[in-house]
Chains A and B, each alone.
Chain A
Amino acid sequence: MTDDAQTISALADEYVLGLLSPSEDMLFEALLTHDPALARQIGSLRDRMLPLDLSATPAPLPSDFPARVRGSLPTQDQGSPVAPPKPANRPDAPKSWVPHLIAASLVGAVVGFSGAGLRQAPTPTVVAVLVDANGVPQAVIDDYGNDTANVRFVADIAVPPDRTLQVWTLPSPEMGPTSLGTLDRAAATELHFSDLPDPGAQQLYEVTLEPLGGSPTGRPTGPIIGKGFAASQI
């Protein structure tokens, strides 16, 4: 087993225990839809840990509880089971390297063990997982404060030759959406910008597809590739 595979396997165990952060949880669930072996590893450990749940003292349900639950159920898309989510731009079949990107992103997101032995990576101030309209993770932003952030992509995003990807954040409603940088392809990139307040929890980040060279207006104009709210890491 490679070091990364070992890390993913260890993360799977921590996922079952509930030890992953919300952003890692989301990435992990995206990875699971691509990786049946990993899903089986998780299902197996879950089932073996089940005695811990069954040892809780049962608590009687209030008599109106089932009715309350029924009242809160959304309408089901009847008769057509929901297909597992697929990365955007690839409605047919996910490319085989997409799960590797998600996995690499997860391994990178984990502070602590990585690669050969113990390595303490710098901790971002916030992490945001940007998802598309179907909730499928597309990119991950690590914002370190001090006007530095990293963007990584975890889905197959095709950028036409006459288009540019642009990364945005919303530091405050007064400042409005502010560009963190442009990219001509979906590749991991370190972004440097200037004079933004340090990021905070629940800050909005998004990536849009803009005309070549970036938005002509200084505000997002193109379709949203992914957006998400930051989770504080410190």
Chain B
Amino acid sequence: MREQDTAAVRADRLRDALVGCAAGRQTGIDAILDSEGGQLLGVARRMLGRHDLAEEALQDAMVQVWRKAAQFDAQTGSARGWIYAILRNRCLNILRDSRRLSVLSPTDLATLQEHRQQVVPTEGWEILAGQSRLRDCLHGLDGQSRHAILLAHVAGFSHAEISTRQDVPLGTIKSLIRRGLLALKECLS
């Protein structure tokens, strides 16, 4: 990421890059990787715990960005948010594809799951939200809802996984997350 860029300059560049992709210009992909590549790979690495899987997810995500670029609508949100959402989706596909993970040895699989659990600490979770309004709003949630929301968004855990990890019934986890998200959105708006 080029830290000297202002947010507005980066937003323009990413939007232009998507227009380029939609028109078939590969320089659009180069521009996205130049601007966001390291951060995107970091997100994938954090969620997947392994460098090889993270690179695979990012490569798949860039192909999806290329394919779907013409569908991006700047009226609905930022290009940056759209691109990160595609990457997270690819990461989740890898995590939810048991056949994909079955090539890993049991030890590697255990390491990966352990890593994901540690990505979201109960104490000191604030580091995950940086200096943002989001952090203030997450502070306002009850601890259990906040932890479940962070496990889902940051580490890619499913409802069922969160339910098992937290030893809370599935229905309770679903309603904790829904309630937490409603409160979070109200605070953010």
Contacts and interface: CB of A to CB of B under 8 A. Distances in A.
Chain B interface SS verdict (over half): helix
A93 interface: no
Contact of A47 (B78, B156, B171): B78
A61 B171 contact: no
Interface string A188-211: 000000000000000000000000
Contacts of A118: 171
B85 A46 contact: yes
Interface residues of A, number: 53
Contacts of B174: 112-113
Interface in A50-80: 50-62, 65-66, 68-70, 72-79
Given A19-B177, A45-B185, A81-B70, A51 B41 contact: no
B42 A65 contact: no
Contacts of A112: 171, 174
Interface stretch (A35-43, A138-146, A162-170, A212-220): A35-43
Contacts of A73: 26, 29, 62-63, 66
B180 to A, nearest CB: 9
Nearest to B135: A51
A22 interface: yes
B139 interface: no
A51 B159 contact: no
Given A13-B181, A22-B96, A48 B85 contact: no
Interface string B12-25: 00000000011110
B73 interface: yes
Contacts of A66: 29-30, 33, 37
A58 B39 contact: yes
Contacts of B75: 36, 40
B92 A52 contact: no
Nearest to A82: B70
Nearest to A40: B76
Given A43-B76, A52-B154, A56-B45, A61 B81 contact: no
A39 B76 contact: yes
A158 interface: no
A68 B59 contact: yes
B153 interface: yes
Nearest to B34: A66
Contacts of B100: none
Contact of A18 (B45, B78, B130, B153): B153
Interface of A: 10, 13-14, 16-19, 22, 25, 36, 39-40, 42-62, 65-66, 68-70, 72-79, 81-82, 84, 112-113, 118, 120
19 contacts: A18-B156, A25-B89, A36-B76, A43-B82, A45-B185, A46-B77, A46-B82, A46-B84, A47-B81, A55-B130, A56-B43, A59-B41, A61-B37, A65-B33, A65-B58, A66-B33, A66-B37, A73-B63, A76-B66
